[in-house]
Structure 1
Amino acid sequence: MEREKIEQIYKWDIESFYSSEEKFEAEFKGLDEMIKKVEGFKGCLSNGADELFECLSTYEQIMRISENLYVYAHMKKDEDNRNSKYQALSGKAEMLSTRISTATSFVIPEIISMNEKLLSGFMEDERLTYYKRYIDEIIRKKPYVLSQNEERILALSGDMSSAAENAFEMLSFADMKFPHIKEEGKEIRITHANFMTFMKSSSRETRKDAFEKLYSTYEGYKNTIGATLAGAVKREIFYSRARGHESAIKGSLFEDNISIDVYENLIEAVSEKLQPMYKYVQLKKDFLGVEKLHMYDIYAPLVDDVDMKIPYEKAKEIILEALKPLGEEYTGIIKKAFDERWIDVYENDGKKGGAYSWGSYDSKPYILMNYKEDLNSMFTLVHELGHSVHSYYSRSSQPYIDAHYKIFVAEVASTLNELLLMEYMLKNAKGKKEKLYILNYHLEQFRTTVYRQTMFAEFEKTIHEKSEAGQALTGEDFSKIYYDLNKKYYGEDIEIDSQIAIEWARVPHFYSNFYVYKYATGFSAAAALSFLIMNDGESAQRRYIEFLKSGGSKYPLDQLRDAGVDMEDKYSVLKALELFEKAVEKLSLEDDFTKR
């Protein structure tokens, strides 16, 4: 469908962001003078509090305006990627960002190199109080910042450092071709896009065929992809050692001021709660009516042919009801999102796929959707609304410099929304089959986000430790480690097929080292907070809203602690995993299994 055929009420109100292209161009040109002004402070930040304040305030204005330009240009392109006008505009915004990064690259090194007494004296100036947290964060990193020449060398290695990841992406997503499989008499080539659709097929033959053919293809490239992953691991070790961190994992966690205890407690807690996963696997085997469950059965739905058509307007009603435990103020913001056109609802020709919540400090927290009138679309919508309400609260409660929250907490608000919606849907399910369908959806969220991502996190920790100890890792080594972890996490009631050993080779997240654990910790924190909100009522709700309002004004662990969850305490993860255990118990009570 062409975009102009979609009703205005289902398109985001981007006109309120920039009312005209003339305004956009005027702000773009206006940055020239501001960039020249900030460049004039180079080498002068130690001269006095006036110079430091003027530089930081100009720098902040530049970042705020350039963020507006960048977000607007890319959102317009996302409306229709075929539009060359907005392709050019987004490219222009990207080049502007590079120019600004270059022009302002002196700011942090100069602040770090300042005499501590001198900087402390400057900070007594009332105007600089506004930038205290920003400067404190810069100084926190001082022990791991090198000399200007050494920093320059590390910066110059930037393009080279991404070579392993780029090689993996070119091989996996461009050069590799997967075989065809037969589905309903048709020959269909396996792709990255359709593989999971095959894994969720009700046809066991389709699942098995797709599973074996995709992973046999990866097996043929095991040595090459093993070399790219080993290169990515060595990159992280090099940068952590160059900066003086004890290990790659500690260097990575330092960026968000996260304790190593958080990472290790996550793995320990999930390892202690593997019995509910083993029971879930056993129940899935019983529901599917198979003699032995295989790895290609793990994504299969428990029930088929559940017609859960959910039109967008109906989804809005359900979401507002489901989120009532968060209070009238929260649901009032959700209504604003619906009424004030934060959301670009339906697919149109050329539109970017998937979904996201985005925007700038000065815009509405927009949402891009490609709504399909099904359960998954409704959960995607409530997920993105969680992000947008979080952004709305943080932007309206914090100044620009403190409004951007860290990725470590970003998934908490979105996941908590999903959990509340899940609770509502289970309570209001129409009939046993629909309840089983929703319960399966819930359990799969837990399995893939907490258990599976924790398994990924343990894999990353293991391969980095082995490499740091001097072991040269090959594709064969990666496969053995990964296969053994699957045995640990899924137990004995499932056949750990040999092909699953190569699954590590198709996971791009392993090239963004020590990132995947944040999915599991975010889900765990959200589960623990949702439990508090449902059981402690108004006090827990109030603490949660304050958490959303805090934006980036505190470190992530402190924010979650204030909300009622201590992610350095293993108990918080264990408490979240109890929800999975209870859901598995609910499933076990549905003893009238549908044999296939």
Structure 2
Amino acid sequence: MADIKQLPTRDQVNPKLTWDLTPIYQDGQAFNQDFDEVTKQINALPQLEGTLSHGAKELVKVIEAIMNTIRPAEKLYVYASLKHDQDTSDADNQALSGRTQSLLTKLESHIAWFEPELLAVDPATLDQWLKTETTLKPYEHYLRTITDNREHVLTPAAEKLLAQAGDALSASSNTFGVLNDADLEFPVVEDDDGGTVQLSQGVYDQLIQSTKPEVRKMAFKQLYAVYHQFRHTLAATLSGNVKTHNFEASVHHYRDARQAAMSANHIPESVFDSLVTSVNDHLPLLHRYVALRKQILNLSDLHMYDLYTPITGEPQLSYTFEEAKAEALKALAVLGPDYLSHVQEAFDSRWIDVVENKGKRSGAYSSGMYDTAPYILLNWQDNLESLFTLVHEMGHSMHSYYTTHNQPYQYGDYSIFVAEIASTTNETLLTDYLLKKYPDKQVQAFVLNHYLDGFKGTVFRQTQFAEFEHYIHEQDAAGQPLTAEFLSQYYLALNQKYYGKAVISDPEIADEWSRIPHFYYNYYVYQYATGFAAANTLAQRVTSGDTAKRDAYLNYLKAGSSDYPINVMQQAGVDMTQTGYLDQAFAEFEKRLNQFEALAKTM
């Protein structure tokens, strides 16, 4: 019997392919010293309660005391999270993450009085303070973001109680994370080469793209067999998380969880509704693409596990990580030399954790805070998808870099609504670069296929997720138990609506909800779709050759949270309160679908 390919343990990975966290903390002693100091600062914060009414100078003092505590606490949290995610099975890393989560819960409970006390200040008095106290002026927008939601903030005692319950309220989400990343045991399956490999999230993502139907079918069925075995537990964790969202929305006097989630970033709910309506109106385009996939693959039956393999056959483009870095720099050159210099800094300074190892968190992300580098987690495979993931996460990291280097701490982060726009703009630029670089029909077809798949997976699929997420929140609020059977029945029907009659919605896909981490993020997924659509417009502006449009894009990266997200995007050139950017995105999808169909006829 052939040897089974096993993931390396963390200590077996080449250090050059791991991130360097020593710039954050050299060792555990340095971490513990900061931890103890932050704990002291947190314990001192309640002494400031009751002082805001004393005047503008006291308000400045309180704001600075809170931010000077939150800032090092965030640093502790980022370090512990990165250590945890590089090996979730490591007991020391688990303990480190648990300590910092408890510390943040304590911090939240010790400052829960601040917003209610601020809102108790007469609005006219606050306006006067802002006019007369120059040291308060840098915090004006920060204060407005709080006072705009005045009717949704509770009494200091109530907010403190909710903050103290933070660990308990996040228990369902944390349980899912541990189960999904560390405890689920997946079987051994056959890979493309006929060998055996231990199935994992990363390996599944690779095998589901196999050009061999039997390989992707086996990976699909074996993965979902594991999730189906735990479907009742996973329904309980998802239900608990939804109940948390609905509870928090209710006690803060929001109509529902969606309103609460979108109000946090001052996003009109019409943005969500317009997305769902527009995507549903354009489902015939998805059905057409799915039918084309079935035709080109020459399959009598098209299954859900056939939706990720390249239609054009074996990938014509593959990259080692070193090769991918060079391609990323070329693709992103249109953003200018300053942007490229910081991308190179990320490569040279080991901001990226590259390869999959045993216990490592699945997927990919960019993470950091004001005083750390914007680190990137990958689970690298030598394929085009990993190159796209690299430039996607680099978009996040460069967004963070520009924000933290151009904004004060109070505006040194950005809302999740604008976060996905920077990353997907990078993906769109990479697509344009590859189509221009390779005139060969096979490569053109492969890149177009990748674009169409990316659109399918981001605009259509994430909107499908958004519909599901909103539905289960509504159903829970109406008293419907979110059992595994209920969730699977609705999800299967939704999947059938989205993909149409050309694809068989295999029974396993009914359990897909059980393995999606983003359903625990509270109305996050719709922003992938809106972000992709907005990125389409921004990429066209950047590649126009107009340096003013490129600079407007870079100014968006620099804006952080210094203005409301909708306003930031309007200044960058996209009005997301209107549907024009969605219409433009679907027009681009149809254009490239036409190009792909024409190429397919000549090959």
TM range (shorter): 0.7 to 0.9
Which 10-residue stretch deviates more, 84-93 or 500-509? Answer: 84-93
TM-score normalised by length of structure 2: 0.85
Which residue of the other structure, out of 554, 577, 582, is the alignment partner of 2:586? Answer: 577
1:263 corresponding residue in structure 2 = 272
Which 10-residue stretch deviates more, 156-165 or 139-148? Answer: 156-165
- C-alpha displacement of 1:499: 4.0
The amino acid of 2:70's aligned partner reads M
The amino acid of 1:67's aligned partner reads E
1:279 aligns with 2:323: no
How much identity, in percent, do the aligned residues show?
38
In 2 relative to 1, CA 528–551 (structure 1 residues): closer, same or farther, beyond 3 Å?
Answer: same
2:150 corresponding residue in structure 1 = 142
2:3 corresponding residue in structure 1 = none
Which 10-residue stretch deviates more, 385-394 or 310-319? Answer: 310-319
1:46 corresponding residue in structure 2 = 53
Encode CA deviations 1:139-161: one digit per residue, 9 max, x unaligned.
12220122344435544654554
8 Å CA contact 2:106, 2:164 repeated in 1: no
In 2 relative to 1, CA 211–232 (structure 1 residues): closer, same or farther, beyond 3 Å?
Answer: same
Number of residues paired by the alignment? 593
Which 10-residue stretch deviates more, 347-356 or 487-496? Answer: 347-356
Instruction: Trace 1:495-574 onto structure 2 (pairs within 5 A).
Output: 495-535=504-544, 537-574=546-583
8 Å CA contact 2:316, 2:442 repeated in 1: no
Instruction: Trace 1:277-356 onto structure 2 (pairs within 5 A).
Output: 277-306=286-315, 308-339=317-348, 342-343=351-352, 355-356=364-365
The amino acid of 2:59's aligned partner reads L
1:457 corresponding residue in structure 2 = 466
CA distance in structure 2 between the aligned counterparts of 1:304 and 1:289, rounded to whole angstroms: 12
- C-alpha displacement of 1:73: 5.2
- C-alpha displacement of 1:458: 1.4
- C-alpha displacement of 1:485: 2.0
CA distance in structure 2 between the aligned counterparts of 1:67 and 1:227, rounded to whole angstroms: 30
- C-alpha displacement of 1:40: 2.7
Which residue of the other structure, out of 419, 428, 447, is the alignment partner of 1:410? Answer: 419
8 Å CA contact 1:3, 1:348 repeated in 2: no
2:4 corresponding residue in structure 1 = none
Which residue of the other structure, out of 486, 492, 512, is the alignment partner of 1:483? Answer: 492
Encode CA deviations 1:90-122: one digit per residue, 9 max, x unaligned.
666555444433433332232223333443443
- C-alpha displacement of 1:311: 3.8
- C-alpha displacement of 1:417: 0.9
TM-score normalised by length of structure 1: 0.86
The amino acid of 1:567's aligned partner reads M
Encode CA deviations 1:41-85: one digit per residue, 9 max, x unaligned.
122222222322222112222222333344345556767779888
The amino acid of 1:56's aligned partner reads I
Q: Secondary structure at the match of 1:357?
A: strand
Which 10-residue stretch deviates more, 282-291 or 399-408? Answer: 282-291
The amino acid of 2:253's aligned partner reads G
8 Å CA contact 2:112, 2:156 repeated in 1: no
Instruction: Trace 1:196-235 onto structure 2 (pairs within 5 A).
Output: 196-212=205-221, 214-215=223-224, 229-235=238-244
CA distance in structure 2 between the aligned counterparts of 1:454 and 1:509, rounded to whole angstroms: 12
Q: Secondary structure at the match of 1:459?
A: helix
> Which consecutive unaligned segments of at least 5 residues does structure 1 have?
none
In 2 relative to 1, CA 489–257 (structure 1 residues): closer, same or farther, beyond 3 Å?
Answer: same
Instruction: Trace 1:82-481 onto structure 2 (pairs within 5 A).
Output: 93-94=100-101, 96-123=103-130, 124-152=132-160, 154-155=162-163, 158-162=166-170, 165=173, 192=201, 194-212=203-221, 214-215=223-224, 229-306=238-315, 308-339=317-348, 342-343=351-352, 355-369=364-378, 371-429=380-438, 431-469=440-478, 474-481=483-490
CA distance in structure 2 between the aligned counterparts of 1:219 and 1:583, rounded to whole angstroms: 37
In 2 relative to 1, CA 408–26 (structure 1 residues): closer, same or farther, beyond 3 Å?
Answer: same
- C-alpha displacement of 1:394: 0.8
Q: Secondary structure at the match of 1:591?
A: helix
Encode CA deviations 1:519-572: one digit per residue, 9 max, x unaligned.
111212112211222236323212111111101111111111111112221221
Which 10-residue stretch deviates more, 119-128 or 442-451? Answer: 119-128
Q: Secondary structure at the match of 1:105?
A: coil
Which 10-residue stretch deviates more, 30-39 or 299-308? Answer: 30-39
CA distance in structure 1 between the aligned counterparts of 2:513 and 2:13, rounded to whole angstroms: 44
The amino acid of 1:146's aligned partner reads L
The amino acid of 2:540's aligned partner reads F
8 Å CA contact 1:287, 1:593 repeated in 2: no
CA distance in structure 2 between the aligned counterparts of 1:340 and 1:167, rounded to whole angstroms: 34
- C-alpha displacement of 1:579: 2.3
